[in-house]
Amino acid sequence: MTGPAGPPGPVPPGSYPPGQPDAGAMACARHPDRPTRLQCTRCGRPACPDCLREASVGYHCVDCVSGAARSARRGRTVAGASRVGKPVMVPILIAINVAVFALTVAAAGSVSDNYASALFARTSLTPILVVDGEWWRLLTSGFLHFGLLHLAFNMLAMWVIGRDVETVLGRWRLLAVYLVSLLGGSAAVMLFSSPTTQTAGASGAVFGLMGALAVLLYRLKMPAGQAIGVIVINIVISFAIPGISWTAHLGGLVIGAATTVALVYLPNRQRPAVQAAAVAGVAVVVLLAIGLSLTLVTS
């Protein structure tokens, strides 16, 4: 003797005999002309076999599959940044440096002697002029270059190193490291160079990206020997070749590494606010060093 029949169980897609009527069927939510006894195990709506996709549990309709794909969280890096594709901030920074170089060339009427332009003279870093109140030189000098070779070397290094750093840090964190490193290089020039020395170039910021890359490789437990070797070679070159500002290089390197440490080693809770506070803290230290240099230059 058999008991009363229970509710029909789930039927896999494509199991209905063609042309056979089914009194218990409902209309597919997406195709009202198609009767079906199937339903999405996620939202419960009736769905025909063409509208269902196999899932880990049952079958999901195409609408639920699409919604899940849109709402899925994007992967995050160790710095808390979304994983992005092509770098954006690095090309923008390179374009700015190239544009400023073009302006100095146009003003000077010469590619090789672009530093002879009045624009270059008003924006390059000379400590004694910063003491006189021309504070903008601390930042603008990082976008100037002495000739085409100087520009090409720095932009190539920025492109090679900056792309990897931007991939991990994200666009705005990379910009923060770049600008704070630039100021760090200027602060070192103010502290350790002659008050009348004229300095310019993105080298301080580029060395900051070198320091950032070394920190990121260590944080990700990846081989850092090659990156450290490049840094050491560039430091040696900074001391070996006359006319290169080793103070700006080392200042940018130290500040870039310190800023990146603050970005990737802080707790995950309330990370954006904590990171912003940490970067601001490093910037304050740099500004205090600049303030100390003003006192030393005038004494």
Q: Tens digits of per-residue pLDDT, 197-232?
A: 999 999 999 999 999 999 999 888 888 788 888 888
**Amino acid sitting at position 229:** G
Task: Give the H/E segment covering residue 144.
Answer: none
Report the C-alpha gap between 197 and 204 in whole angstroms. Answer: 16
Report the C-alpha gap between 110 and 108 in whole angstroms. Answer: 5
Rg over alpha carbons for the chain, rounded to the nearest Å, is 30
For the chain, report the end-to-end CA distance as a whole number of angstroms. Answer: 108
Domain ranges of the chain: 26-66, 89-291
Note whether 154 and 206 are within 8 A (CB). yes
Looking at 117, 141, 203, 293, which residue is catalytic?
A: 203
Report the C-alpha gap between 189 and 195 in whole angstroms. Answer: 9
Report the C-alpha gap between 287 and 281 in whole angstroms. Answer: 10
Note whether 154 and 160 are within 8 A (CB). no
Per-residue tokens: 209:
């990206």
Provide the residue count of the chain. 299
Report the C-alpha gap between 34 and 14 in whole angstroms. Answer: 13
Does 112 qualify as catalytic in the annotation? no
Does 145 qualify as catalytic in the annotation? no
Note whether 36 and 26 are within 8 A (CB). yes
Spell out the per-residue pLDDT of the chain, length 299, in tens: 444 444 444 444 444 444 455 566 889 999 999 998 888 888 889 999 999 988 877 788 988 888 776 654 556 777 777 766 688 999 999 999 999 999 999 999 999 899 999 999 999 999 999 999 999 999 999 999 999 999 999 999 999 999 989 998 988 999 999 999 999 999 999 999 999 999 999 999 999 999 999 999 988 888 878 888 888 888 888 888 877 889 999 999 999 999 999 998 877 666 788 889 999 999 999 999 999 998 887 76
* Bridging pattern class, strands 26-27 and 35-36: antiparallel
Bridge partners (DSSP) of residue 199 are: 125
Q: What is the CATH number of domain 89-291?
A: 1.20.1540.10
Looking at 117, 238, 249, 293, which residue is catalytic?
A: 249
The residue whose two tokens read 């009363």 is 4
